[in-house]
Structure 1
C-alpha cells in the first residue's frame, strides 16, 4: 500500500525533532563536562595554592607579639621594711583587686593582717607557683608570712610583678598569647553560644546559618552567617581584606573549609581567641581575649567574673560600637544579650544570671595595664642595658619578657617627691627647675626607680642618665677615703688646716679656692671638714692624696673619666646622676663593687631564662669595707651635725642615714647623695639652660630626697665594727670617756692614738673659731658648698 504524504511527513518531522533535541542534550552535556573540567582544572590548583597559604600562615601562627617589661616581683619576708600604704601600692600596680582574698589576684586587709591570693608566674630563676598567703605587718615591718591554713611561717614569698611597659615593632598590636586551657571555660563555651552554636559540628561554614541569614535579609532584617572559622579566615591572620565582595566571600569560604579540614576545632578556637580584634588605644590595636581582659578590666583572664566574660564576648561583634568606655549603654545591652545566651544554653544558672545582670560594667577608667610606657626614663635605662645583647629589632615584637628591678612603690614615691618639691621651689626669681634621680638597692645594685624629668611621663631627654653636670662636693668623700687608706697618716680624728690655700698650676697660674661662706675655720677635725664641706681643708688633703689617685679611684669604681687636675678635688667634673649613683653604691654597699642594673633577666616566649643580669656581687675586700665604713660614719655625721642636718629637723633621724650635699658654681647645680640600710638615692636639681638657681645641695636636691624617704619604708643604716677600733680622743691622744671635751672616733684597728691623761680642757687653736654666733643660730655652713671656687681647667701647653 502506498504511503500517504501526510504520514510520511509526520514521521519525518518527529525524527527531525528527536534529532534536534538529542543534539542539544549532547551539546549541554559536552559543555557541562567541559566547564566542569575547566572548573576543576582551575579549582584544584587554586585549592592546592590556598591550602599551602593556610599551612604557611595558620600553621606557624607568626603573630607579632610585643616584648613585655615587668617590675621586680615583691618578695615578702619577715623583717622587711613595709607599711600598709606601700603594700597596697605594690598590689594595685600588679593588678590585684580588693576582695575576699580567696580569688586569684585578690587581697583582703584586716588591720595589720593581709590575705593575698597570688598568681603563678615565671621569674629569672624558674616558675613561681600561685599561693594563698597570710601576711602580718607590725611596726613598719613584715612580721610574718605563711601560707593560708598552714602554721609554719615561710622564709619568703614572691608576688607576681606589675607589667610596666610593652616594646612594639612596626605594628602597634597588643596581644598576649594564651593556650585554650588558660582561658576560662565560660569564655570558650560562651563565645560559641553567642557567635557560633554549631561550631563543633559544621565543616567550617554553616549552611543552615546561611539560609537563615538569607531569609532574614529578604525580610529586611540583616543577620550575619559567618562562623568563628570564617571570622578567623577574614582576619588579618590570613590576609583577606574586609571589602564586601563575592570574590572575598568566596575566598573566605574556601579558607574556612580548608582550615576546618586541616586543623582540630581546639586549635581553631585557640587561634581565634588570640587573634580576634577587641579594641583600640590610640595607635595601639588590642588583639586577643587575654590582652582585652587587661585592657578593659586590668585583670588576668582567670580573675574575670561571668558578667565581665559576657562583656568581652559581646565586644567581639563590634569593638567600636560596643566600647564600654565610650558607649556604655550599648555595651551593657550587648553584655546582657550575651548573658541571656549564656543562660539559655545553661552555661550559667538563674542566680548567676540575675546577679550578673545587676552588676556594673566594671571596666577601669584608664586602659588597664596596657600603657605602652609610662615610665620613659626607667625604660630608657632598660633599653640601654639590653642594647649590648639585644639589638632593638630583635628586642621588639619577639614575645620576650624583660624582668626588671623596678619597685612600683619606690618609683611612685620618687615621682611624687619630685612633683611636690619642685613645685614648692618654683619662683619667678629662678629659671624653670629640672631634675634627675636614681634610687637603688644597696644590697645588690638593682635600680629601683629612675626619674628623668619633673614631668616624669614625658619622653625625651633622660636627665638621670644623660645630663652631664658639675658634681661639686659629691666627690669629697672619695678624696677623704683615699686619705683614710693611709691610717698611719690620716684618721677621722686627724687635724686638718682650713686656712687659705694656694695651689700652683704652673705657667705662673695659681688656684686660690675659698669656702662658700667666705671664712676660714682654722684647725678642724677631718670628720668635721668633710661634714661641713670645707673647701680649703679638702684641697690640702686632696693635694697630699694626689689628684691622679682620685681620678684613678672614680674610674675604677664607676668608670668616670676625669682629668687629674687639682680642681678635681672639689668636683670639677661633669657627670650624670646615674654615674654618681654607681660611684656611691660602693659606699652604700659597704665597699662592694656592685654594677648597677635595671634588668634582672630576659625570658623567652616559653618562660625560660635566656639571659640573667642579677648575679651576686663579690664580697667586699677587707680594706675596701673598712674605708667604706669610715666614710659612712662621716656621712652620718654630715646628717647629724653637718650640711645635711636639716634632715634631722625633717624627722628622718630614725634612719641613721649617711649623705653628702653638693653645689656647683653660683648654685647652678644642686646635688644630694644619701643612703640608708636598704636604699641609696642620688638627686640632681638644676635647669637645662645652666643658669643660677640660688639653691644649695641642702635646699634643692636634698629636699627631694627627704620627701622620698619620709614615706619610703627603709631600714636604718647600721655600720659594722669589723676592722674598726672606737676610742675617746682628746686633742691628739686617746683618753677616758669621762674626760671633759673628749669625742669618740672610729679608727682603723691598730692605728688608734696612744693613751694619754685627761688634760685641762683647752681648745685646740682654731677649733673654737667655727663656733661663732652664726653657728648658735643655725646659720653656719650647713647648706654647702663650695665647689664654685674650682677654676676652669688650665689651657693646653703652648707648642
Structure 2
C-alpha cells in the first residue's frame, strides 16, 4: 500500500513539474511572438487612402499616359485599364495629343476626377504593399499554389503530420534533406513572425504557432494573409510584398487581370524571388524553366480553360524581360511608392507624383552625365507652396497649408536636409539685389559697364568673373539681369554704395556677412542658405512685390517694369536654350542659379499660385572638378516636366 502511495506521489510530482516545465517552455518560446498583431495581418483589410479626396485632371491640360496609368494602378485595385481608357476616349474626356519619347501625351477634354492613392501597408523603407481581400485574389492563384505546395491545406491543422512523416522517411531513405514538409500556414508564420534561422527552437515555435493560427482563423483568411504578406523580390528599387504589388510591378495590371501564364510566373517566383529574379541573366533562365513546369501542373489540375492561352514563346519572354530591365532603370513606379508614404497638402497626389517622377528622371540623367565622377552624392531637394502673406490690418502672418516638401534620399531626415543644411545660392539672389538697385533710383533701361572691375579688400584684391564673356562693353540692367551677368552687379553696388545695399538686403538674408563692402561676392551668390531659407526669402520678396503691390502686370505708360515681370519670359532668360513645348508660350517668374563647379544648382519659380524652390546638387564633400551641371539643365528641367504634365491648366501669371 505504501509503495502504491509513493508511486502515486511520484507520478503527481512528475505531472506537476512536467506541466510547469512545459508552461515555462511555451512562455519562453512564444514571448517574442506578437499575438496582438494577428488581426492586422489576418482580418479582412479595408482600403486606406493617403488623403480623403482625390485629384482632378483639369480640362485642356496635358498629361503623360505613362503617369496616368501608373497612378491608376496605385489608386484603384479593381481597374481594368483597357476598358477605362476606351471609355474615356469614347466620351472624349481624353484624346491623343502627340507622341513623345517617354510615353504618349494625352489632352484632357473634360475634368476627370481620380481616386486618391492607397496608403502603403508596408512600413519598411523602400517597400510597397497593398493588401487586398480574398475575393479579389483569383482562384487560379490559391488553388494552383495549394496544388503545388500544400495539396492537403484544406484538411490539415496548420501542420501536416502525414507530410512530415513522409518527408522523414524519404530523407532517411536518400540520406539527405530531399523533401520539405512546410505547409502554407507554416510559410506564413515564417514570413510574418520568425527569422530564417535553422534551429530546433524556431521550428517548435513555427509548429505551435501554425496550429494556433489554423484554429483561430479560417482557411480563407490564412490564404488571404499568405498572398498579401509573401515576398516577391525587388523591382525598380522597391521591395515587393504581396500579390498586388507583384502583379503591378511585374505585369502592370491588378492580379485579376493577368493571364494564366503570368499567374504561373508569379507562383514560380515564390520559391525564391531572388533566385528567380528576371533582371539577372541566370535568374531569367531559371524562371523560364520553372514557369513552364508550374504552368503544365496548373493545366493538369484543369484550373483554367485550355483555350485561354499557352506557354509563352521565346519572343514573348524576351519582350517581357527587356521591359523589366528597362523599368528597373527608368523606375516609373518608385515615385508612386514615395508619395504613398508622404504627407503634404499644397499639391494634390497626382501633381506630387509627377513632381517626384520628374525629380527622379532628372537625377538619373545628372548621374549619367557625371558618371566619371560617380563618387559624388547627387540629390534633389524642393519646396512648393503658397507665398506667406502678412495681414495688413494686424501685421500678423497668415498661416498657410503645409507646403509640398521633397528630398530624394528617403533614408535621411527630410526636414533636417531642407531647413538646416546650407548650400551656396548662386545667382538666385540677383533678383532681390536688382530690386534693391531699383529702390535706389536705377532703371532697367540704364546702361552699365561690362568691363573688368577690381576691389581692394582687407583680404586682398578681388575681381568678379563672368561664366561667358560678353562682346558688348555696356548692357542695360534688363540685359544684365536676364543673362545673369556678374560684373554689372558689383559695379552697380559700388555706385549705390555697399552700405546702402546691405541695409535693404539684410531684411531678406539675415545671415549676410557684414560689412558687405568686405564680402561683395555674396551679391553673386557666395552665401550659403538652406532650401527652406531661400523659400522664406522669396516668400517675403514675392509677397511684397507681387501680392501686396501687384507690380507684375502694371501696364501704365512710362511705368518701370518689375523684376518679376522681366524674368517672366523663359525664352529670354538663362533657360532660353532648354525651355520647349508649351512652356515657351507660358509666363511665370523664374530664376536659375549655379555655384562653382556645378555643386549647387537652383531654380526658383512663381506662377501666381505656387512658389517653388528646387535644388539639385552634391550632398557632402563638394567637387573640385567641374561637374558640368547647371540650374537650367537640372532644377529647371524638374520644374518644366512638372508644370507641363501635372494635369493643371497653365494660366497667365497673376498676383493672387
TM alignment of 1:214-233, pairs within 5 A: 223-233=179-189
**Distance in 1 separating the partners of 2:30 and 2:124:** 26
Aligned match of 2:114: 157
Q: How does 1:383-532 map to 2 (within 5 A)?
A: 407-415=355-363, 418=366, 470-471=424-425, 473-482=427-436, 484=438, 490=441, 492=443, 495=446, 527-528=478-479, 530-531=481-482
Deviations 1:707-753 (A, max 9, x none): 6678776377834499xxxxxxxxxxxxxxxxxxxxxxxxxxxxxxx
CA offsets, 1:616-671, max 9 Å, x none? xxx9334687799821222247963x777666999975345655566778x88886
Kindly tell me: are residues 577 and 64 of structure 1, through their superposed partners in 2, closer, same or farther at Cα, counting changes over 3 Å?
farther
Q: Match for residue 578 of structure 1?
A: 531
Match of 2:79 in 1: 104
Cα distance change on mapping 1:188 and 1:643 into 2, 3 Å: closer
Tell me, yes or no, if structure 1 residue 308 matches structure 2 residue 262: yes
**C-alpha contact 2:236 2:327 (8 A) present in aligned 1:** no
CA distance in 2, matches of 1:231, 1:501: 75
Quickly say closer, same or farther: Cα 1:574–1:701, change in 2 above 3 A: same
Is 1:87 the counterpart of 2:65? The answer is yes
Contact 2:601-2:630 within 8 A present in 1 as well:
yes
| Greater helix fraction, Structure 1 or Structure 2 | 2
**Conserved? CA contact 1:199–1:228, under 8 Å:** yes
Aligned partners of 1:204, 1:137: CA distance in 2, in Å?
54
Aligned to 1:763: none
- 2-side partners of 1:167 and 1:369: how far apart? 22
2:37 equivalent to 1:61? yes
- What is the CA–CA distance in structure 2 between the aligned matches of 1:216 and 1:46, rounded to whole Å? 31
Structure 1 position 547, deviation (Å): 0.7
- Of 520, 534, 537, 2:492 maps to 537
Contact 1:180 1:270 in 2 (8 A): yes
- Aligned pairs for 1:324-339 (under 5 A) are 326-328=282-284, 330-339=286-295
Pick from 542, 548, 564: which aligns with 2:503?
548
Whole-Å Cα distance in 2 between the matches of residues 544 and 437 of structure 1? 35
TM-score by length of 1: 0.54
Query: Cα distance, 1:38 vs. partner?
Result: 4.3
SS in 2 for 1:136: strand
Structure 2 distance, partners of 1:691, 1:344, is 65
Residues 691-706 of structure 1 mapped to structure 2, 5 A cutoff: 700-702=630-632, 704=634
Does the CA contact (< 8 Å) of 2:418 and 2:530 recur in 1?
Answer: yes
- Compared CA separation, residues 190 and 34, structure 1 to 2 (3 A): farther
Sort the Cα spacing of 1:54 and 1:477 in 2 relative to 1 into closer, same or farther, 3 A. Answer: same
Matched, 1:633 2:565: yes
Instruction: Give the deviation of 1:553 after TM superposition.
Output: 2.1
Shift of 1:478: 0.8
CA distance in 1, matches of 2:168, 2:460: 98
- Structure 1 gaps, min length 5: 1-25, 118-131, 146-152, 387-400, 594-618, 723-799
Q: In 2, Cα distance between the equivalents of 1:133 and 1:39?
A: 79
Inter-CA distance 584–266: structure 2 relative to 1 (3 Å threshold): same
Task: Report the equivalent of 2:307.
Answer: 351
**Structure 1 counterpart of 2:142:** 188
The separation in 1 between residues aligned to 2:302 and 2:442, in whole angstroms, is: 82
1:659-674 map, 5 Å: 659-660=590-591, 673=603
Preserved CA contact (<8 Å) 1:178 1:274 = yes
Q: Note the C-alpha offset of 1:552.
A: 1.0
- Alpha-carbon shift at residue 195 of structure 1 (Å): 2.4
What are the equivalent positions in structure 2 for 1:624-773 lying under 5 Å apart? 630-636=562-568, 640=572, 653-656=584-587, 658-660=589-591, 673=603, 675=605, 677=607, 700-702=630-632, 704=634, 714=644, 718-720=652-654
Residues 702/309 of structure 1: CA separation in 2 closer, same or farther (3 Å cut): closer
Shift of 1:549: 1.9
Q: Does 1:260 align with 2:214?
A: yes
Number of residue pairs matched?
590
- Unpaired runs of 5+ residues, structure 2, are 42-47, 100-104, 388-401, 555-559
Indicate conservation of the 8 Å contact 1:290/1:301, yes or no.
Answer: yes
1:136 aligns with 2:127: no
Aligned to 1:4: none
Bigger Rg over Cα: 1
Distance 1:514 1:295 in 2: 52
User: What is the aligned partner in structure 2 of residue 392 from structure 1?
Assistant: none
CA deviations on 1:222-243 (whole Å, 9 max, x unpaired) are 5544433344456672569534
- Is the 8 Å Cα contact of residues 450 and 464 (structure 1) preserved in structure 2? yes
Alpha-carbon separation, structure 1, partners of 2:190 and 2:453:
82
